[in-house]
A and B are shown apart, each in its own frame.
Chain A
Amino acid sequence: MPGVVVKTDKLTKRFGDFIAVNEISFEVFKGEIFGFLGANGAGKTTAMRMLIGLSKPTSGSAVVAGFDVYKQTENIKRNIGYMSQKFSLYEDLTVLENISFYGGIYGLSDAEIRTKSDLLITELGLENQAKKLVASLPLGWKQKLSFLVALLHEPKIIFLDEPTGGVDPLTRRQFWDLIYAASDKGITIFVTTHYMDEAEYCNRISIMVDGKIEALDSPQNLKKKFNANSMNEVFYELARGAKRAE
């Protein structure tokens, strides 16, 4: 039985009368690629913000990388990586400067930063661009770079919030190769996405509707259960029942 990296129990977030996240309970295992799906306004971003320590839950419990989201957010922060839907590197810094900045705020030593940036740059084939400003790179490269930068401090789990927005299918495919490589190293991937083809790449997916998790299983099992040919159909089937609009 693989280790549990994320475990929530009736995790809830209210904003006044509005229940953004309604008693969600799930587990994510080590090295797993966990897809976190839902229509806009279903509550997936709020749920994710609670897990990464940006938002305090109203009730319920959650443990991330072995630490409690109420009391041990500092420990959680040290053990997770995060990449938001907005591209998250500094455009006016070079590739190397970005790497050493993020390495620096995670407290890596100069020697560590040096070895890791060498590795990272070779992995991406960015040898000629290392000293160029990030602004000059194409979007696909920037996204790959920010994914690897988020892994710099060797987190147990990485949270990706719609990481591939706005890029072409080929670049998206390349991005997923990086995700598989990370997963093979035992890093857990927690990813939200709008693209149903990406949902198919996940080991297991959860689908949120109106603040609740309506389905949680592997893509194959979900398709079987809803008697559907693709994840698209499964998603429409579930999201159709939503009462909340964006």
Chain B
Amino acid sequence: MKQFLAFVKKEFYHVLRDRRTLLILFGMPIAQILIFGFALTNEVKNEKILIVDNAKDISSRRIISEIEASKYFQIENPVSDPNQITRAFKRGIIRVALIFPAGFHNDLMHLHKAQIQIIADASDPNVATTLTNYISAIIQDYQLNINQTYQIPFQIIPEIRMLYNPELKGAPNFVPGVMALVLMLICVLMTAISIVKEKETGTMEILLVSPFKPVLVILAKAVPYLILSLINVVTILLLSIFVLKVPVRGSVLLLFAESTLFIITCLTLGIFISIKTNTQQVAMLVSLMGMLLPTVLFSGFMFPIENMPVALQAFSNLVPSKWFYIIVKSIMIKGVGFSVIWKETLALLGITLFLFFISIKSFKIRMA
């Protein structure tokens, strides 16, 4: 145990003395959270909206003037042909349209119930949700207004259509995505590089000749990154809660337990890469191309998996970050407990055990 601690201490020296490592380790998560949080914001202002008013009555005009008055929307020249709406969406001129049916006011007054259609371009699901929410809110305001003056309540039912990505799956929130990305990068890349570095400089041989067990060498290298990664999880969560106002709805303890599991997955991956490669450059390239890219592409963080070809959907199941992303999203945003995410946890655990097994195996082959 004392030997192990001496080793871990040395690993911390390595990490803490290298400014570039430190920068990646602690600067990157903060930078990513802030970039995703502020630069890539979903806030809408002066959004162009196309309104098709088939009713042209007092109610439709009042709603239109409310929309006009809000700072969120800018009304495009009215059209009447539905084909023109499609064209405007395809060309990207508008991202949202509102359609009043003929006899809107009439329906509202006599049936106490009227429909209204909101169409949004959901290829960017976050924006689509925001836009439809804003419009729904304006309509609801109007509804409350008229309800005050009449005895029997009126009801306007907005019918919302999401174009291109009807289920809105994809990016309800980026914090879980950044978490997967950062942990992947730090654990896989840093572990792989730090082990391969010992091979490159020749110190690995010295360690293998010492009575210190080879498996312990690997474990001791992984411990500092486990601790530092957990610190990163804390940083990301604090930034998310206090700067971005994205709270953790579910159990923080569960979130940490799942994060630890994912960190171990990544460390195992890093160890596996380090066993298979002999130079730092190759290790870095393999980590970036082989691990980071799939995380970005197949975790569902940037691109909805549902829209991919079946073969790629199947492949995404092998990407550990996909499972972690679903888990974090479920805990943070939906606030669910372990009973809902046990399948994903099991998948992650399975991948980890598999990686661990083949790492140990290839490590033994190398030793012979």
Contacts and interface: CB of A to CB of B under 8 A. Distances in A.
Partners in one complex: yes
A93 B18 CA distance: 11
Consensus secondary structure, chain A interface? loop
Interface stretch (A24-32, A82-90, A166-174, A228-236): A82-90
Nearest to B17: A92
Contacts, number: 76
Interface in B1-21: 2-3, 5-7, 9-10, 13-14, 17-18
A77 B10 contact: no
B13 A97 contact: yes
A88 B368 contact: no
B209 A90 contact: no
B164 interface: no
A100 B212 CA distance: 14
Interface string A42-69: 0000000000111110000000000000
Given A90-B14, A92-B17, A78 B7 contact: no
Size category of the B interface is 20 to 34
Nearest to A91: B201
Nearest to A52: B209
B6 A104 contact: yes
B148 interface: no
B209 A86 contact: no
Interface in B182-216: 201-203, 205-212
Nearest to A94: B13
Q: Which of A80, A83, A92, A100 has the most chain B CB atoms closer than 10 A to its own CB?
A: A92
A106 B18 CA distance: 26
Given A77-B210, A82-B206, A107-B3, 5 more contacts: A97-B10, A104-B9, A105-B3, A105-B7, A105-B210
Interface of A: 52-56, 74, 77-78, 80, 82-93, 97, 100-107, 150
Interface of B: 2-3, 5-7, 9-10, 13-14, 17-18, 201-203, 205-212, 367-368
Please give me the 9 A-B residue pairs with the lowest Cβ-Cβ distance, nearest first: A104-B6, A86-B202, A82-B209, A105-B212, A77-B211, A88-B206, A101-B10, A78-B211, A92-B17
